[in-house]
Amino acid sequence: MASYLVHFRREFSYTYLYCYRRNSCSSSSRRIPHPHPPFTGLSSSSSSSSAHPRRRHHHHRASSSSSSSSSSSSSSSSSSLVVKRYSLSSAPASLVNNLVKKKILKGGIGGGGGGDYCADEYTYSCEDAGANAVKVEVYVAATGERVATTTTRKDIAGWMKSKSAARAARRDDDETATTTTTSSAGLAASTATEPIPPPPPPPREDIEEADYLKAQLKWTLSMNGGDPNDKAVCELVDALEAHWKSKRTQQSDDEMLSLWSNKIWKAITRAEFPGSLGLDEHGRPLFTLTRMSFGRFQPGNTKVAIIGISNEVGDASYVFDVLFEVKDGPAEGLVGCMRSLASHQYVGDGARFDIMFHSGTFAPSRSVECDASASRIWASAFGLHSPVSHLEGGIFTAMDSSGAQEYRFLDAIEGYVDVLYLDDDMRITRGNQGSVQVVVN
């Protein structure tokens, strides 16, 4: 009896903390475990016996009447599919590199690797293909259209790397998948998902201090909308900074440079441009184009929502990409990318890097560029406004045939970032304006 009560208490806390909604999916839904909650895809229907066994403990003993009613509701919804959407931008680097190697990103999606493709515009699903194989399907996020299918190894897809990952996958299977039910006829048009909070990080037992703090930080940011000024976030950043600096004496400058360079980092803190207009219906920060581009592009009163921020760092190059969606005007709904090009130099004063911005571009995403109608709308919305008067000390190049505009500073704009924490998969920095940014590799 005591063990049953302990089990019930644990399972009740799971239900409460993770907002698990057991009735949101039909009984025919197939649950596919995956250790990475931020990924997406579609799961085909199957018998309810494929559901996770832990779920059985939550159900009351079914009477014959409840069984017949559930079977009738299952048959009435047999034409439904469960749609799971997760962003390709959050995929493991090993999987992204594998897709690039197979020319799926270069061909089917239109990128050339190295961060050129707009990963936030695509989703993907992983399904166990038996043995050591995983079937990966890539979709256009806006339409649900499948653009590629491939099979890869489980370790490349980040599938069940450890027992803790398996436990996280089971939690993801039961509680964290964002789902919406739709008929197969309306599948391509379905884009909305209802966010459900991710599970908390694993318990402190048998986890290195830095890994535990990083897991806590990622979870806290996922729960507060990426606010870097949250008190809990600040405390975790301070703890990670103290831990890293205690180990810093054992690390050479060359070792730190190797961790800093030749990576594509993705921000998990939200954008902090001046003049925020709040959040859009998807919880993404809103700004005017003037605020986001610091007055470089027009029309300045156009509202944009920040989809994501990435930072590709080479041996000397420093590329800062802001992916955004236009929220009003003739180009409403189109996706673009504002790219800032800079160079970096290690100062050696503690852990400081000087950043020198010298040029940048403002361009439509690949999906807009490849759509003739969308390209015309983009050109009419942004190509008729010259930002020369808003770019003091710089040279502006008018919109080209791809819809891109370019600027170049006569004298580089200099800034710096101080590294607060750095390892192979997380970087925390504080800029010269005081803003803290957390990025993951």
DSSP state string for 67-87? HHHHHHHHHHTTTEEEEE--B
Q: What is the percentage of the chain residues whose pLDDT exceeds 90?
A: 31
Which residues have CB under 8 Å from 49's CB, separation 6+?
A: none
pLDDT digits (tens, 9 = 90+) for 349-392: 678 999 999 999 999 998 888 888 999 999 999 987 655 544 56
Q: Which has more confidence, 129 or 37?
A: 129
pLDDT tens digit string along 74-125? 444 433 344 455 677 767 777 777 777 777 765 334 333 344 456 667 788 8
pLDDT at residue 26 above 60?
A: no
At 253, phi and psi to the nearest 5?
-65, -35
pLDDT at 391: 55
Rounded to two decimals, the pTM is 0.56
Which tokens sit at 143?
A: 């339409």
Of the chain, the percentage scoring pLDDT greater than 70 comes to 62
Kindly report the average pLDDT of the chain as a whole number: 71
Using pLDDT thresholds of 50, 70 and 90, give the confidence band for residue 264. Answer: very high
Helices (H), 1-43: 2-18
Q: Which two tokens stand for residue 201?
A: 């990080």
Q: Is the pLDDT of residue 64 over 90?
A: no
